[in-house]
Chains A and B, each alone.
Chain A
């Protein structure tokens, strides 16, 4: 069968309607059929990456349009490679296009967060307490907040390891994007979140014991991490 009759060329940004099974089969095929599927998939990934750029444009107003387009292209390139490497992991729990989109959104999101923090210092010491200043707070509320923050600072000193403290300060207090911190500490997002999770659990336990927080029944449940 002539490939062109099955997968006629479409304009950039459009993809042919395929079933999920047809997507996987075409990507595993050889020759022109696979080339067409790759082309269609790339168009789909580029569309998703540009979608992400548009969602974040307000936060990236200082970045030139050409650079943003480069980021979208790189995200689509990297997503395509990831998808081809993980094609065997697609189990059909969602439509293939939804599964593929998430790779492009991940790549675009990571690149945009890193671009947004390019040249910015990552604060690893807890001088970010001012983030909790509330201009509308009453004197009593300010006193209560300050007491809570002092209790948190004491708990951080008392129960966290140096690495847990560094990760908690950066991610929770300074709100550094997790991908940015992962790149600077040369680790993975999953490993950092595990550290953050452990730090949070230790701090919560300490603050509950000190009477600053109520115990949460959900903590008794099995953690899925």
Chain B
């Protein structure tokens, strides 16, 4: 991810979070299930839910929940 590359180049980038427009935690939670199913179906989840991916880069708690839901649903 470019964000990780940025972090290696400049520690400020991680502290300052994503530059792209992002949703907040509440909207992230509202649409996380839809986003994860689109990802698992290889649809363009980023186009369907703009701003959610950027939020995951900036919010560790939402990222953990996304990763867990993705793993749980993918595992059946």
Q: Choose, from A24-32, A61-69, A187-195, the stretch at the interface.
A: A187-195
Decide: B72 and A224 in contact? CB cutoff 8 A. Answer: no
Interface of chain B: mostly helix, strand, loop or mixed: helix
Decide: A145 and B59 in contact? CB cutoff 8 A. Answer: no
Pick the contact of A200 from B16, B60, B61 — CB < 8 Å?
B16
Cα distance A55–B74 in the bound complex, in angstroms: 14
Q: Which of B17, B31, B37 has the most CB of A within 10 A?
A: B17
Pick the contact of B15 from A48, A109, A172 — CB < 8 Å?
A172
Interface of chain A: mostly helix, strand, loop or mixed: helix
Decide: B12 and A148 in contact? CB cutoff 8 A. Answer: yes
Q: Which residues of chain B have C-beta atoms less than 8 A from A224's C-beta?
A: 21-23, 27, 50-51
Category for how many chain A residues contact B: 35 or more
Decide: B59 and A178 in contact? CB cutoff 8 A. Answer: yes
Decide: B72 and A194 in contact? CB cutoff 8 A. Answer: no
Q: A106-B65, A225-B24 are in contact. Are A204 and B19 (CB under 8 A)?
A: yes
- Inter-chain CB contacts under 8 Å: number: 113
Cα distance A113–B59 in the bound complex, in angstroms: 14
List CB contacts (< 8 Å) of A50-76 with chain B.
Answer: 51-52, 55
List CB contacts (< 8 Å) of B1-58 with chain A.
Answer: 10-13, 15-17, 19-27, 29, 31-34, 36-37, 50-51, 58
Q: Which residues of chain B have C-beta atoms less than 8 A from A95's C-beta?
A: 33, 37
Q: A132-B11, A221-B20 are in contact. Are A98 and B25 (CB under 8 A)?
A: no
A203 at the interface (CB under 8 A from B): yes
Decide: A218 and B20 in contact? CB cutoff 8 A. Answer: yes
Decide: B19 and A216 in contact? CB cutoff 8 A. Answer: yes
Decide: B61 and A173 in contact? CB cutoff 8 A. Answer: no
Q: A48-B72, A51-B72, A148-B11 are in contact. Are A193 and B33 (CB under 8 A)?
A: no
Cα distance A173–B33 in the bound complex, in angstroms: 30
Q: A93-B31, A148-B10, A203-B16 are in contact. Are A193 and B59 (CB under 8 A)?
A: yes
Interchain residue pairs A-B with the least CB separation, the first 5: A216-B19, A94-B33, A224-B51, A93-B34, A218-B20
A-B contacts, 8 listed (Cβ < 8 Å): A93-B33, A102-B32, A105-B68, A178-B59, A189-B61, A204-B16, A224-B51, A225-B24
